[in-house]
Amino acid sequence: MAVLLGVRFVAELGMLACLGLAGWRLGDSWPTSLGVAVVLPLAGAVAWGRWVAPRASRRLSDPARLMLEVALFGATLVTVLLAEPARWLVVLVVAVCAAFLVSIPARRHEPGPVPPATGTGAALGTNGRD
């Protein structure tokens, strides 16, 4: 199962890379390309970190989380195809989406969210003896 979790992590990073590369191709000037190449993967990372990541504080429960994951990878595929990509980028995004699909069974073995800290020093990050 560790291998599938590794494949899953690589697919997540690949999704962000594909969004950045597609964003660069979508701009009509270098400042626009740079802006889109930064904003697209940033938006994907924020959504993933907020609602999908194993230790996200607001992690969605299934099936909503799976639907969001599929939507993010699907949106990445569509974005790449709209960017009139080179063949290697199409191959990359298809490989990333395939890696995601292969790794779906590993979702059941991801660690859950970290429970909030409690106790005297929880707010300060201390053990209460300071």
Q: Which domain holds residue 6?
A: 2-109
Q: What is the DSSP string of 77-121?
A: HHHHHHT---HHHHHHHHHHHHHHHHHGGGGGGS--PPPPP-STT
Report in angstroms the alpha-carbon separations of 91 from 57, 64, 80.
34, 28, 10
* Helix, strand, or coil (residue 37): helix
Q: Is residue 124 part of a domain?
A: no
pLDDT mean across residues, the chain: 84
Q: Is residue 85 part of a domain?
A: yes
Please, what's the b/e burial string for 87-113 (b: 16 or more CB within 10 A of its CB; e: otherwise)? Answer: eebeebbeebbebbeebeebbeeeeee
Q: Is residue 82 part of a domain?
A: yes
Q: Is residue 47 part of a domain?
A: yes
Number of domains comprising the chain: 1
The widest CA-to-CA distance across the chain, in whole angstroms, is 60
Q: Is residue 12 part of a domain?
A: yes
Q: Is residue 100 part of a domain?
A: yes
Q: Is residue 13 part of a domain?
A: yes
Q: Is residue 83 part of a domain?
A: yes
Q: Please give the chain's pLDDT, 130 residues, in tens.
A: 788 888 888 889 999 999 999 999 998 999 999 999 999 999 999 999 999 888 888 988 888 988 999 999 999 999 999 988 788 888 888 998 888 888 888 776 665 555 555 655 555 555 555 4
